[in-house]
Amino acid sequence: MKPSVIFLDAVGTLFGVRGTVGEIYSRFAAQVGVQVDPQPLNQAFIDSFFAAPKAAFPGVAPQDLPAHELLWWKAVSAQAFQQVGAFSEFADFDTFFQMLFDHFATPEPWFIYPEVPQVLKYWQQQGISLGVISNFDSRLHAVLATLALGDYFETVTISTEVGAAKPDSQVFATALAKHQVDADGAWHIGDSWQDDYQGAEQAGLRGVWLNRNEKSSPGPIQTEIADLSRLALPAEQ
């Protein structure tokens, strides 16, 4: 059945990183005289990111969120540079990281997956409301706008603004309330089996795992796709 609303994850679903985070971090580090091999740095970033607590700050006032988001990402990045033994080489890590943090609010580090604009337009033409549910941070508003994706979405629900992160059902409930629909009338599509697929299913939505890299499923799954067009453009299936 056609859903009333389709929610989508952001990074890894709508758009991805050009190259790797390690390559970007390494390039920026070189600008301040710190040489780091991008490959181990990228793995260190992945390790640090998944070891960190979810980016959600319950009880924090909206005006204070940007500072908490910056500190969260700075801690993840600092741990990555420490893991590869480069952190002590920075003369001023705070200034360096601010430059890096601001960079990820621009279009330069991102690319849009090729099928995304056409599929989003198709869903709009079908009368389906669209929203984003993401564990990114408030920079997402700027990124969606600068990538010319913002106009497709009626709502954007971000973990740091809700105070809960996927797979917590609270973030899904918050998004549903914005559209005034019940969970059984909504889909959520994302590239994380746990955060997106399992989180949505546990919250009562139809979860769809976007498995672009054709990885093995970590567990039972009902709906898995390789790209978004599989749910939108029958002629291309």
Q: Whole-model pTM?
A: 0.94
State which CATH number among 3.40.50.1000, 1.10.12.10, 3.40.50.1950, 3.40.50.2300 fits the domain covering 5-16+109-236.
3.40.50.1000
In whole angstroms, give the CA distance from residue 129 to residue 3. 9
pLDDT for res 237 = 36
In whole angstroms, give the CA distance from residue 201 to residue 167. 10
> Structurally, what CATH architecture does the domain formed by 19-103 represent?
Orthogonal Bundle (1.10)
Per-residue pLDDT tens digits for 79-95: 999 999 999 999 999 99
The mean pLDDT value for 19-41 works out to: 98
Half-sphere exposure of 202 (CA within 13 A, CB side): 13
The mean pLDDT value for 164-169 works out to: 98
State yes or no: pLDDT of 100 exceeds 60: yes
Half-sphere exposure of 164 (CA within 13 A, CB side): 11
In whole angstroms, give the CA distance from residue 201 to residue 223. 11
- Looking at the chain, the whole-number percentage of residues with pLDDT higher than 70 is 98
Identify the weakest region by mean pLDDT among 114-118, 179-183, 210-214, 216-220.
Answer: 216-220
The mean pLDDT value for 124-153 works out to: 97
Q: What is the amino acid identity at position 61?
A: A
In whole angstroms, give the CA distance from residue 52 to residue 68. 14
The mean pLDDT value for 144-163 works out to: 97
pLDDT for res 230 = 87
Where along the chain do its domains lie?
5-16+109-236, 19-103
